[in-house]
């Protein structure tokens, strides 16, 4: 049984170099061990993970799901993310590229209107300047579009206003809010503030100080991804409640 909304998680390292030691590539996925999340998480539960650093204001935002959980002396959950570029670049020693604006994970259904086109998508992250929308296609970069939020959260504005398509790929689109329009500027600020308030209430886990010192890495052994997924698939197929 998966959660309806993604669970918000935060984790802090001292440097991006420490993050490199905790990203594991496996079967086209990036695995990350989150220690003792203080909330009950099960296989398939969706998560937004924000990673911060003591020596940088940069934030890394990842979208993924729970792969498995561990109890005992090292309680926590293994998370899996479809993004492999971050792990690949980090494992090769490349620096994490800073972004101009902080992105925050959120989930809200939105209506995208572009001339005679009406489409429903799912907003998956937002910044002061724009947003990323999943499950939407057919948008054209040359024509402006408008956004409406289809959510019952009173903290969100019902209409964001005018935006411009930045890129579209694999069913996702990034849009830039046209903040020269006063109504769009006010609505986008209200949206970002509402999402930011939700993130501010999330407890942040901290990388253990002893880890990554003198060659010591405290992560447990990563799970065998294919075998674990096959086991869960078999369980779902035989469980009459699933």
Do 119 and 156 reside in the same domain of the chain?
Answer: yes
Give me the percent of the chain exceeding a pLDDT of 90: 55
Lowest-confidence pick of 35-39, 78-82, 149-153, 229-233: 229-233
CA atoms within 13 A on the CB side of 118: 1
pLDDT tops 90 at residue 6: yes
Q: Is 2 inside a domain boundary?
A: no
Do 11 and 92 reside in the same domain of the chain?
Answer: yes
pLDDT tops 50 at residue 236: no
Cα gap 94→86, rounded to integer Å? 9
Q: What pLDDT score was predicted for residue 235? A: 45
Burial of 133 (0-12, 13-18, 19+ CB in 10 A): buried
Do 223 and 143 reside in the same domain of the chain?
Answer: no
Beta-strand (E) ranges in 27-116?
29-35, 46-53, 56-70, 76-81, 104-114
pLDDT tops 70 at residue 86: no
Q: Is 36 inside a domain boundary?
A: yes
Quick one: which H or E segment has residue 175?
A: strand 172-177
CATH number at residue 165: 2.40.10.220
pLDDT bucket at 46, cuts 50 / 70 / 90: very high
Q: Is 1 inside a domain boundary?
A: no
Do 90 and 168 reside in the same domain of the chain?
Answer: no
Mean pLDDT of the 206-222 span: 88
pLDDT tops 80 at residue 234: no
Total number of domains in the chain: 2
pLDDT tops 90 at residue 177: yes
Q: Is 32 inside a domain boundary?
A: yes
pLDDT tops 90 at residue 72: no
Do 191 and 112 reside in the same domain of the chain?
Answer: yes
Residue 222 sits in which domain range? 7-99+208-238
């Amino acid at each position: 049984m998966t959660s309806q909304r993604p669970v918000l998680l935060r984790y802090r390292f001292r440097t991006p170099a420490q993050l490199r030691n905790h990203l594991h590539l496996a079967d086209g996925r990036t695995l990350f061990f989150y220690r003792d999340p203080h909330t009950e998480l099960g296989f398939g539960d969706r998560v937004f993970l924000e990673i911060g650093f003591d020596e940088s204001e940069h934030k890394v935002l990842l979208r993924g799901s729970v792969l498995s959980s561990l109890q005992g002396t090292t309680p926590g959950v293994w998370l899996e993310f479809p993004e492999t570029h971050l792990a690949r670049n980090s494992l090769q020693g490349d620096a994490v590229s800073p972004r101009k604006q902080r992105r925050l994970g959120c989930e809200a259904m939105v209506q995208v209107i572009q001339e005679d086109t009406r489409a429903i998508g799912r907003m998956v992250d937002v910044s002061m300047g724009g947003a990323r929308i999943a499950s939407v296609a057919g948008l054209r970069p040359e024509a402006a579009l408008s956004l409406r939020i289809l959510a019952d959260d009173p903290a969100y504005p019902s209409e964001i206003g005018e935006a411009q398509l930045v890129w579209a790929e694999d069913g996702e689109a990034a849009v830039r809010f046209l903040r020269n329009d006063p109504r769009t500027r006010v609505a986008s600020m209200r949206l970002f503030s509402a999402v930011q308030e939700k993130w501010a209430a999330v407890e942040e886990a901290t990388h253990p100080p002893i880890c990554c010192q003198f060659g010591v890495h405290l992560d447990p052994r990563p799970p065998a991804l294919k075998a674990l997924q096959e086991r869960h698939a078999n369980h779902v197929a035989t469980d009459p409640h699933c």
